[in-house]
Amino acid sequence: MTRVSVPPTYRVHRRPWGLSLLADIVRSRADHLAFLERCTRLDADFVEANILTHRLFVVANADAARAVLVEDTKSFVREGNLESAGIKSFLGEGMLTTDGEEWLRWRRLNAPAFTRAAVAGVQPIVDDSLERSFATLPRGRIRLFDAFLRVAVTATTAGFLSARPEPDEQDALVDAMLGGPEMVFAIACARTTLIRHLPLPLPRRVQRATAAVDRLLARSAARRRAEGAHARPDLLDLVLQHRDPTTGQPLSDAEVRDQLVTVVIAAPENIATTLSWAAYALASNPRVLATLRAELATGDERYLRAVIDETFRRFAATPMVDRVAAVDVELGGVRIPRGSLVVVPIAALHNHPRFWDAPGEFRPERFLVASAPSAWLPFGHGPRKCVGERLARLVLESALKRFVLGFEWSRGTNAEPGFAALINLRPADRMRMWVERRAATAQTARLSAAG
């Protein structure tokens, strides 16, 4: 049995009545979030229950969460968890779906594309892409999530491939990202990838979209091989130039595809989700919106970053991460048997009164005056923390600034849209909003000129 060096003081709450609830844990995201929320509000550090044939431990202690995600990554792995099979069937063998030495290899391959210098290097093409996208943002009553997804797809793909996707390529990427998470969630529910091959509308739609994305990535790779590498390598260059450290061989076409599709598909979903919830929070809090516009008018973007961080807290785009105990493990006196699912409920921890003052309030000021509590995991934690955080923040800050200064929007109701039953915290109605362009101001004119 592996022992992790944490104080043996954790309390465990065992809930025999949890069986019926947990049998439904992957059937409804709203029920899933509510269940995890209830678990974290109990007077315990771990809540143990059964989920069909698995034992499940919900981590309600921030230090224990770090132990799972940071201190003992050999004992707590992704292999066999709720989401990996579905994600792997969609994205292939990349950073999100592998473990051990294979994951480390792909992490090292991708990391140079996300350094501070690399992200600064792609900022001009990202800003240009955002400027063009917002110039054509639909008006009237729209699904704002869909519009933001199109914005994020174009910006991140431009950053990764140093080229804006063509309209048909953009459509394929958006379709893949609208249908892909639904497919991943369906596979997680059923615990089998056979769903992917059934003659049903969703699998067929996802197959068509991913085939189109594969063609886009193959064309991009072929063009780059013909052109030669850029003076400032982007992710596409890194993938094409990579050589196996043992054999010296380049990546196969399938490996090139898997490395590129992982970031091209995974990044925009979280960005669009965060932008959608930020727009909702600002529409619901006129004082915060007025403060943000006033601060942006002075050129000070600290409040903008605080608004984004508060959106991460209040509406975590990825509401949970989970691991599987590869061996029998003991954490703070709590025995976790091999094969158990261990869930870190990020959204619940981000909204827990034990860690946050008035967690139900949208209050960006909390990120201006103090460091974030330990229960702060917007990009995960540990070695598997999202490698793309810098690029995601760049796109989020630049996109939200343009939207806030360039548009007016409202829902026409005070009711929250609710959460879709997916892996991410996508708004249930894809954030239907009335959107209109604001009259031109000096700030928007300067921003347009800079873009």
Q: Can you give the pLDDT of all 451 residues of the chain as single tens digits? A: 555 554 558 999 886 544 444 444 444 444 677 888 888 888 899 998 876 667 889 999 988 998 898 888 888 988 776 667 667 777 778 887 788 888 888 899 999 999 999 999 999 999 999 999 999 999 999 999 999 999 999 999 999 988 888 888 888 888 887 877 777 766 666 666 777 777 877 778 778 888 888 888 999 999 999 999 888 888 999 999 999 888 889 999 999 998 998 888 888 889 999 999 999 999 999 999 999 999 999 999 999 999 999 999 999 988 888 899 999 999 889 999 999 989 999 999 999 998 999 999 999 999 998 777 788 888 888 778 888 899 999 999 999 999 999 999 998 887 888 887 667 888 989 999 999 999 865 455 455 555 4
Does CATH number 3.10.520.10 belong to domain 2-450? no
Q: What is the pTM of this model?
A: 0.89
pLDDT of res. 152: 94
**Residue 368 in tokens:** 């201006």
Helix (H, G, I), strand (E, B) or coil at 284: helix
Q: Give the neighbor-by-neighbor strand order of the sheet with 54-59.
A: 12-14, 46-51, 54-59, 341-344, 321-325, 76-77
pLDDT of res. 18: 45
Interhelix angle 286-297/302-314, nearest 10 degrees? 150
Alpha-carbon separation of residue 305 from 241, 293, 301, 382, 447 (angstroms): 35, 13, 6, 22, 17
Alpha-carbon separation of residue 224 from 169, 187, 227, 236 (angstroms): 17, 35, 5, 8
Residues 6+ away with beta carbon under 8 Å from 219: none
pLDDT of res. 433: 95
Q: What does the DSSP 8-state code read for residue 325? A: E
pLDDT of res. 189: 63
* Rg of the chain in Å (alpha carbons): 22
Work out the widest C-alpha separation in the chain, in whole angstroms: 65
**Are the CB atoms for 405 and 447 separated by under 8 Å?**
yes
Torsions phi, psi for 407 (to 5 deg): -140, 160
**Are the CB atoms for 181 and 189 separated by under 8 Å?**
no
pLDDT of res. 306: 97
pLDDT of res. 419: 84
**Residue 139 in tokens:** 């008006």
